[in-house]
Structure 1
Amino acid sequence: MFRTVAPPPPDFAGKRVIVTGGSRGIGAAIVQRFLDGGADVVATARSATEQTPQRATFIAGDVSTLTGVRALTAAALEALGGVDVLINNAGAARTHLGGTSTIPDEEWLDALNLNYLSAVRVTGELLPTLRETGPGAAIVNISSGAALTAPPLLAHYGAAKAALNAYGKALATELAPEGIRVTTVVPGTVLTPGADAIRQDIADATGASLAETTADVTAAIPLGRPGDPRDVAEAVAYLASDRAQWVTGVTLAVDGGQLPGI
């Protein structure tokens, strides 16, 4: 289980943060971590949930289209007056138990739009403002272990997240002379509603229970437990903070030792 640590320091006091996909799971935990650190936070998603931190400013919208991105980013900048930290967390996956060859063309495109191009577009719209912020601004992209070892049933999702990893590295190199840092976090097996839905699909197909399927995955994690969304949020907070002022271009696995080396 996640061990509660001391209350976080006010390391983000006065910072303006935008978190896409911030309504539940890992995104909601990231939003809460920045709020606890004193930041002003805009969370975006298609709709709010009971997990969405109430102290955040929530803006509903769709980041899978350029039109949706432009509307969301404009509203977020109006709410915050600028941006210091951008967290590209929006993403989702649909399983295809028949494997790679059964994934239709439109779902490859959907996966790219939501899990990769959303980050490219949001970053592109906010980059002029991030450049106004200048040195100290940070972008953190949230990828997936599927980018490293994609099972056939999630090949489209893994491919999109692998593209996100490559994009983050290239962008970090480009923006480093301006003092804007770009990093990528790769979560392993984390207990979230979205991941639970994927495991439930697998359980249904194999005749196992969700608990049995989760236990099988957990057995492969050296630290002996699946991740809590707060495990990922703490890593994101470090990478976005001034404590990581000499860290850029990295792809960090937060996985309990589960994934192959990056």
Structure 2
Amino acid sequence: MTFSLGLDGRRALVTGGTKGVGAAVVEVLREQGVRVIAAARSVPDIAPDGVTYVAADLATAEGCNTVAKTTLQRLGGIDILINVLGGSTAPGGGFAALDDDEWAKELNLNLMPAVRFDRALLPAMIAQRSGVIIHVTSIQHELPLPQSTTAYAAAKAALATYSKSLSKEVTPKGIRVVRVSPGWVETEAAVALAERLAADAGTDYEGGKQIIMNALGGIPLGRPAKPQEVADLIAFLVSPRAGAITGAEHVIDGGTVPTV
């Protein structure tokens, strides 16, 4: 029996909703009776009941506008906006490897979609004086890896600061804005990375995971988070049970960040 969070009948948009954390969020919301639009660059051919997939390039203004309009048309409004979309294609090599194009890519993937969707969908939330926005950031904004995640980390830091400012503006109008900051999560992409590192080092998958954990300075929990664990946290935060939570960041990293 599914534990009810009081979300039945709510309307949600989840970006990056076809893989990893995004797919887990879509599934837990669907189980809670939420009508969900899941947007990503590529989408499955068949959608489960209660879910509509929309294919678009969310790193562009045109893609975000298309998805926002489709969401309002198909759902007749919106109650929950969850911006899971993010990632990095930047090369390793530190600051010198990051030209203007690489910086633009990181910002257009990790900051601007949230800004654009908020701008497009917040008016509907404000009109009904209710809604919840989740921005998925990353512990990288506190714990950047200079050889590989400088631009990604900076973009996520910008998203965190923007989210805090937005919460101060719109919470008095009935909209909660909350940040979720994962550490390393065992998504499909993370598994592929661990397997590649393991092959390069002549070890097994568990050895590959250990290489990543060592690069992060260790994870006291001893393992990465599961997508379902992050999704369960997000589902709670968008529910009425978290009705007094806004403007805050919730870290789910197994203890990776070593400071208060």
Whether these two folds match at TM > 0.5 is yes
Matched, 1:192 2:187: yes
| C-alpha contact 2:44 2:53 (8 A) present in aligned 1 | no
**Contact persistence 2:10–2:80 (CA under 8 A):** yes
Aligned residue number for residue 145 of structure 1: 139
Whole-Å Cα distance in 2 between the matches of residues 160 and 199 of structure 1?
A: 24
How many correspondences in the alignment?
255
Q: Are the equivalent residues in 2 in contact too, given 1:19–1:27 (CA < 8 A)?
A: yes
Farther off after superposition, 76-85 or 194-203: 194-203
Counterpart residue number, 1:3? none
Residue deviations 1:186-223 (CA, integer Å, cap 9, x gap): 01111012333454565677676654231244472222
Q: Contact (CA 8 Å) 1:184, 1:249: kept in 2 or not? A: yes
What is the 5 A alignment of 1:208-247? Answer: 210-218=205-213, 220-247=218-245
Could you tell me which runs of 5 or more consecutive residues in structure 2 were left unpaired when the two chains were aligned.
Answer: none
Match of 2:91 in 1: 96
How far did residue 261 of structure 1 move? 4.5
Identity %: 37
Task: Specify the alignment match of 1:177 in structure 2.
Answer: 172
Structure 2 partner of 1:54: 48
Unaligned runs of 5+ in 1: 1-5
Could you tell me which amino acid in structure 2 is paired with residue 233 of structure 1? A
> 2-side partners of 1:83 and 1:97: how far apart?
39
Query: Which of 37, 40, 43 is the matching residue for 2:38?
Result: 43
Alignment pair present for 1:115 and 2:110: yes
Cα deviations across residues 58-78 of structure 1 (Å, max 9, x unaligned)?
011011111111111101111
Q: Which amino acid letter does the alignment assign opposite residue 252 of structure 1?
A: H
Return the TM-score normalized by structure 2. 0.90
Q: Deviations over 1:115-173 (max 9, x none)?
A: 101100011000111112313x1000111121211112111111111111111111001
Could you say what secondary structure the match of 1:224 adopts? coil
State the distance in 2 between where 1:66 and 1:12 align.
Answer: 30
In the alignment, which residue of structure 2 is the partner of 1:255? Answer: 253
Deviation at 1:7, TM superposition (A): 2.3
Q: Cα gap change, 1:228/1:261 in structure 2, threshold over 3 Å: closer, same or farther?
A: same
**Helix, strand or coil: the match of 1:256?**
coil
CA distance in 2, matches of 1:19, 1:117: 15
Length-normalised TM-score, structure 1: 0.89
- After TM superposition, give the deviation of residue 107 of structure 1 in Å: 1.2
Structure 1 residue 132 corresponds to structure 2 residue 127: yes
- 2:75: which partner in 1? 80
Displacement, 1:225? 2.0
What CA distance in whole angstroms lies between the structure 1 residues aligned with 2:194 and 2:149? 12
1:25 aligns with one of 20, 31, 35: 20
SS in 1 for 2:38: strand
* CA drift at 1:92: 1.8
1:53 and 1:256 map into 2 onto residues whose CA distance is: 32
